[in-house]
Structure 1
Amino acid sequence: MVGQQPGQGGVSEIFQPLAADDPTTIAGYRLAAKLGAGGMGKVYLSYTPGGRPVAIKVIRPEFGEDPEFRRRFAQEVQSAQRVQGLFTAPVIDADTDGARPWLATAYVPGPSLADAVVAHGALPVETVLLLIAGMAEALHVIHGAGIVHRDLKPSNVLLAVDGPRVIDFGIAYAADATALTGSGVTIGTPSFMAPEQAAGRRVTPATDIFALGQVAAYAATGSPAFGEGTSHGVLYRIVHEEPDLTRVPERLKELVTRCLAKEPEARPSIAEIITICQSANAETVLRRPEDWLPGPITADITVRAAAPAPVQPPPPPSSAPPAGYTPPAAYTPTTPVAPATPPPGYGPPGTHQPSRPHPGPAPVQAHHYAPTQGPGHAYAPTQGPGRVPMYPGHPMPPVPQPARSPGRKGLVITLAAALVLGVAGAGTVYVISQGEGRQTEGGGSPEGTPRSNDSPDADNSPTADTKPEPKPTAYKSINLTAGYHLTLGDDPVRPQQGEDGGYELSYDTGGYLDAEGSEGSLVLLDAGQQGSLAACRADTRYTKELYLEKLPKGRQVCVTTGTGHIGLVTVQGFSAEDAPSTYMTVDLTVWRNSVGSGSGS
């Protein structure tokens, strides 16, 4: 999808009026204007109830009809909600299940890099260095959430007064899964693809580094490093030829040349990119002044900051509404997801992350405000009755609900019912407690009432109904070859040939882990989260497939089988490019017959 603010010109061209075929509200968001349209849908301007502008991207119906797109889109939105970086536009709300999938991000009042270069030409070297350093920080946070952007290009970089904003991360992954990509719908821009993308090979975070080098060359020269023309011609040059860097300023050549290395492993890391930008900078440190952009682009930002006022809801009717009147849908933001822990080796030490709370009963009343977690000021609504939004800085705890007693009337009804049934000589007595809905049968006592030791069926053993905790069995350094599977009930667990056929865990030759077995599921644990039996039991972010680009070394995956076993997979590495077979090396811990037993300590 295009950036939030495509196009040039004045306010009327940037904030286009809604057409007859445009919706006026989306899930309670009142639309103020249309910001643009692209290959995946339309972008609209709206506001939160507190008045903060947001950009809402509504996916095209053709994509929404593709079940594989919806599945991947839901995965990517969930991951994107954990991205809370200074140089990203945070995803604050989404609906992946509705008739028209959509997502809302913070509105960035600035032109895209593509629009800025087309309108005003190439950028100064100092601006390009600050641009690339900010984009590198954005990629650090995006990759830390397990996302590869896949479509990093000038139209997906917005220019704000305090730095760039990278948008649309992960959406290309969902679009690549649809049949539409083979029927005339183009996702991504060939001029900014990496060689491995053009050749159909595995995509990794290094793919985004190649695109970063292309963006740097474009920003500094005004044209793509591998030229323009037909898609096939551009992709051929990306794979087989060297870029044209004759117009790239000397201070940027090391940065661009290293990022555009053909082999992914030869490209610099994000930390190295920032160091290169620092060395090429004329100052002793990278400083981002208020006027880091040329004057004409800053003027464009001023125009885009003058967004139309929020659309006011209609006044309440003075009399009864007419027949057939349907009020607009309530505002319904989704639950925010905690930001991912950045990968080790970069940036300041991470802040303390509180442990996952033990799941308990949901509060009766959930109309409250709470802050988001992580850097930035991302608008992060909660989910509950009415789904009222929340803002950072003003947490309000849920209002506790006092326990309700049955009352005099309930007690009278209870005693009367018991007396009537007892007089009738019934062999089974039901004691009904109004307001709690509990009942016992065969003379038993309600929940929480101690049984008499004289009862013939009393069992005072503290472990009578509790199975002992299963013992973990560990298997180290399993080389799981593509096209093979693992069965967690085997001892020892060894790879067996076959990737389709109801297997519990298989390495599909399509480049993903697959839980095909009946009622089997996978859960990708957050980066830095320590896997355990308790963690695997508690986490419910189920999926059937996990692509390998989401599985860097050290990442852990919970496997639950339909046969009652739970496994924890820890990725240790992948085969080299020149290896005779394609495989991944994993450590596996298995808790057999552990589904539903014990407490999961």
Structure 2
Amino acid sequence: MSRSEPLEVFEPLESSDLVRVGAYELVARLGAGGMGKVYLSHTPAGRPIAIKVIRPEFADDPEFRRRFRQEAAAAQRVHGLFTAPVIDSDTEGAEPWLATAFVPGPTLASAVARHGPLPLSTVLLLAAGMAEALQAIHAASIVHRDLKPSNVLLASDGPRVIDFGIARAADAMSLTDTGVTVGTPAYMSPEQAAGRGLGPAADVFALGQVVAYATTGTPAHGDGSSHAVLYRIVHEDPDLDAVPEALLPLLQRSLAKDPRDRPSPAEVVAMCRAASQDGTLRRSEDWLPHPIAGDLTRHHVTLAQPASGHPPTAPLSPPPAHQSPTVSAARLGATPPSPTPANPWPPQPPAQPASHPHANYPHGGAPGMTVPGGTVPAQRRRNKGVLVAAGVVGALLLAAGGCAALLNTVNHTAADKGAASGRDSSPAKHPKPASYPRVQLPDGYHLEFAGDPRQPKDSNYDDLYYICDFSGCYVGSYDTKLVLLNTTQHGSLNTCRTATRYTNRIGQKQLSRGSQICVRTAAGHIALLTYEGASADASPSRYVTFDAKVWRNAVNPN
């Protein structure tokens, strides 16, 4: 039956809350979680926005802050009709924050839990919208890493994918330091669960799980303990018995174990069109079932500013029913109350068990991050380890507590630490180069020139990454300057020091054997890469091969 209380909670500011960040006055608190607190605010022109303020203990970590700076900049390049755009940020202040557009509508998790699975026509529009969102996100060289029902908002004009700007920054925090886990097990891809490199195909797998949840009320590999779910994702086929036949081709391909067998987001859209009754997708204002559409009119908040800059003393309440809609409470990081199914279109949808995945993962923090047993400890070791998901069965069963499949620490050398923190010494006038012949860089991995580039890393995307997605294969970086030398230029330290035709992405189609790329890292290292070729079509993995020459501390750090 229907709940009488508001679907979403807007809490008044407390004495411990901030009242302003940057140019924005905070009106109410939307939620809190493992990574920070989320507040309601407005632009100077009155547009409602959501602001996520990062916890001080995260902000104090140099590696987290470095990645957060990169991710925030990349997220602001995402422009899609089905994303909640990042409109502003402060990555340098004592309390870094990220502001996004405030989108009207409940989360998919809240809607399905309250009303039951969605009809096929809605699911096809939902899947196509999420796929278009992933196209925009991937085009900005971002892998979402935590696409799940609580990160999809249902607005009157279509879905919105949120929380795509800080997932990689969350990887910087050590599980042993904070008790935080990264990723939501039920929506992880097999390669994420097994601790392998992540590419855009991991988001397509998550999309398939979200579509299964939307149409059946549960992910395709079921619910239960993290260990059991991750084991099924890595080793067992998805359970698609309850999925409508029209969706089977999409889910069978999207949930393939091998990332290379999954469709691109563009192919997902085409498959959704093919599965529709007339072969087209036409989104109208009534694309959502009536019970959910009715919920939209109840997702209002009072937008009155607190008097004299002080927190309000009473909870914010919805406006009277006769007032026009303003903004929704379902927001980046907002934590909805546990809803009760009401007016389901399939009679009596299956009740969510106590171990439902969303019961233990608050929506107020970073993507998929939870703090077992309480809040993040204020004091922790300053560990530069990088958290990646590790999912072999032995690791799943041996680690105690928490999500044991998520722990694999990559130790950095002292040189790596210096490069990450920007504390390199003054550049040498004539540094001696180090040569590394035939460095092979696999899809989804990156090179770090402060250390040994012959050992590609999969923990993040610095200093130079290689990715293949729906748009092709390319090398790139978030904060490294790249210059593709022309045939008249001789690759040398002096050439790479003086060349200024900077880019952050070079397509593999632009390269031929002997092509040279100057790489200038934020830490002040210079590398000259000579392209030697790429993997054959029959190869079990995609990779490119470079001869690398590295001059460390050759220029001033950025």
Q: TM-score range by the shorter chain?
A: 0.5 to 0.7
Which residue of 2 is the match for residue 29 of structure 1?
Answer: 24
Deviation at 1:539, TM superposition (A): 7.8
Instruction: Quote the residue 1:403 is aligned against.
Output: none
Q: Give the match for residue 105 of structure 1.
A: 100
Amino acid paired to 2:170: A
CA distance in 2, matches of 1:141, 1:114: 23
What is the CA-CA distance between 1:538 and the residue it aligns to?
4.7
Say whether 1:189 aligns with 2:184: yes
Which residue in 1 is equivalent to 2:520?
A: 560
Q: Deviations over 1:325-382 (max 9, x none)?
A: xxxxxxxxxxxxxxxxxxxxxxxxxxxxxxxxxxxxxxxxxxxxxxxxxxxxxxxxxx
SS across alignment from 1:559:
strand
The reply to whether residue 235 of structure 1 matches residue 230 of structure 2 is yes
Structure-2 change in CA distance of 1:308 and 1:220 (3 Å): same
| Separation (CA, whole Å) in 1 of partners of 2:507 and 2:183 | 24
Work out the number of aligned pairs and report it.
406
Which of residues 457, 460, 463 is equivalent to 1:510?
457
Q: 2:545 is matched with which residue?
A: 585
Matched residue, 1:480 = none
How far residue 174 of structure 1 moved from its aligned partner, in angstroms, is 1.1
> Hey, what does 2:126 align to over in structure 1?
131
The alignment partner of 1:75 has SS state of helix
Cα distance between partner residues in 2 of 1:171 and 1:501: 21
Change (3 A) 1:492 1:105: closer
Q: Is the aligned partner of 1:267 residue 2:220?
A: no
Q: Deviations over 1:56-107 (max 9, x none)?
A: 0112223222221111111111110100110011111111222222100000
Q: Tell me what 2:199 maps to.
A: 204
In the other structure, the counterpart of 2:81 is: 86
Closer, same or farther: CA 314–288 of 1 in aligned 2, 3 Å: same
Aligned-partner SS, 1:36:
strand
Amino acid at match of 1:154: P
Check the 8 A contact 1:136/1:273 in 2, yes or no. Answer: yes
2:161 aligned partner = 166
Written as runs of structure 1 = structure 2, the 5 A alignment for 1:147-546 is 147-180=142-175, 183-311=178-306, 494-495=437-438, 506-511=453-458, 524=477, 531=484, 538=500
Considering only aligned residues, what root-mean-square deviation do their CA atoms show, in Å?
A: 4.4
- Determine which structure has more spread, i.e. the larger CA radius of gyration: 1
> Structure 1's 285 and 582: CA in aligned 2 closer, same or farther, altered over 3 A?
closer
- Where 2:299 maps in the other structure, the secondary structure is helix
Structure 1 position 149, deviation (Å): 0.4
What is the Cα deviation at residue 523 of structure 1? 7.8
1:474-506 residue CA offsets vs partner (Å, 9 max, x unmatched): xxxxxxxxx9xxx99769973589x99985882
In the superposition, the TM-score normalised over structure 1's length comes to: 0.59
Q: 1:35 to 1:181 in 2, by over 3 A?
A: farther
Query: Are the structure 2 counterparts of residues 515 and 217 from structure 1 closer, same or farther at C-alpha, using a change threshold of 3 Å?
Result: closer
The CA distance in 1 between the partners of 2:151 and 2:55, in whole Å, is 18
Contact 2:435 2:550 in 1 (8 A): no
Q: State the Cα distance separating 1:185 from its structure 2 match.
A: 1.5
* SS at structure 2 position matched to 1:43: strand
Q: Can you give the 5+ residue segments of structure 2 that lack an aligned partner in the other structure? A: 311-412, 414-429, 441-445, 465-474, 486-494, 512-516
Runs of at least 5 residues in structure 1 that lack an aligned partner in the other structure: 1-7, 316-482, 517-521, 543-549, 597-601
Relative contact order, higher structure (CA 8 A, sep 6+): 2
Judged with a 3 Å threshold, the aligned counterparts in structure 2 of structure 1 residues 500 and 134 are, in CA distance, closer, same or farther, namely: closer
Which residue identity is paired with 1:228? D
Contact in 2 for aligned 1:72/1:174 (Cα 8 Å): yes
Amino acid at match of 1:173: R
Aligned partner letter, 1:510: K
Matched residue, 2:41: 46
CA contact (8 A) 1:58 1:100 kept: yes
Is the counterpart of residue 55 in structure 1 residue 50 in structure 2?
Answer: yes
TM-superposed deviation, 1:252: 1.1
Partner of 1:420: none
The 1-side partners of 2:89 and 2:7 are apart by: 27
Change (3 A) 1:217 1:555: farther
Question: One-letter code of the match for 1:187?
Answer: V
Q: Distance in 1 between matches of 2:508 and 2:60?
A: 35
TM-score, structure 2 normalization? 0.63
